[in-house]
A and B are shown apart, each in its own frame.
Chain A
Amino acid sequence: GENVEQHPSTLSVQEGDSAVIKCTYSDSASNYFPWYKQELGKGPQLIIDIRSNVGEKKDQRIAVTLNKTAKHFSLHITETQPEDSAVYFCAASSEFTSYDKVIFGPGTSLSVIP
């Protein structure tokens, strides 16, 4: 079945360094790729998304890149801060699909060391 892999499962960086999280997907029909941040005691929050008609999208310190040929997409966080510490999830689906068809990655626990 459809699958989304995510690496690494844990990531520890020094404050100010960059963090990169990578995901691969199996369904070639996927064309919408959101990223969620889940802080301790809270639910996931959408932080950025990318559609298959673009290769890169930036929003301040975060960016996402997409390689449709290789079926992988990545989250880049620059100038990391302690408040970036959280679990990050990627997901893949067709745009405008129902939520039962969204495949989530297993998550990456990011720790930013002050």
Chain B
Amino acid sequence: KAGVTQTPRYLIKTRGQQVTLSCSPISGHRSVSWYQQTPGQGLQFLFEYFSETQRNKGNFPGRFSGRQFSNSRSEMNVSTLELGDSALYLCASSLEGLQGRNEQFFGPGTRLTVL
């Protein structure tokens, strides 16, 4: 079974631009979560989508948004990029989206650099 895939793997943008990242979950998984990982803040939850609906949201500004398609693939968008948005963005999928009930599988991440 193929793992979680994320595209692109690396991205360089300038301040003020916007960016869209893509995630394809493991086949059959309906929950897709997004995380931001930085050396200073660690792993921080952005949001979770389940059956095309945002089910949970972390404490990030409205510039961060996402969506999920009927095939469970998900995209996240960051508008008006800031230098502090430079990070590794991780996508994770699971069957139900509940910690401890189903394992969450992470993709390799997209490394975003904002200049």
Known: A32-B100, A93-B99. A107 touches B108 (CB 8 A): no
Is B64 an interface residue when CB atoms closer than 8 A count as contact?
Answer: no
Known: A43-B92, A44-B90, A105-B42. A96 touches B106 (CB 8 A): no
Is A49 an interface residue when CB atoms closer than 8 A count as contact?
Answer: yes
For chain B, give the interface size range: 20 to 34
Cβ contact within 8 Å between B106 and A99: no
B residues in contact with A99, CB < 8 Å: 33, 45, 48, 56, 92, 97-99, 104
B27-80: which have CB < 8 Å to A? 33, 42-43, 45, 47-48, 55-58
Dominant SS among interface residues on chain A: mixed
Point out the residue from B57, B99, B107, B109 that lies within 8 Å of A95, measured CB to CB. Answer: B99
Cβ contact within 8 Å between B97 and A98: yes
Cα A51 to Cα B100 in complex, Å, equals 9
Cβ contact within 8 Å between B43 and A104: yes
User: Considering residues B4, B100, B101, which has the most beta carbons from chain A within 10 angstroms of its beta carbon?
Assistant: B100
Is A29 an interface residue when CB atoms closer than 8 A count as contact?
Answer: no
Cα A42 to Cα B91 in complex, Å, equals 11
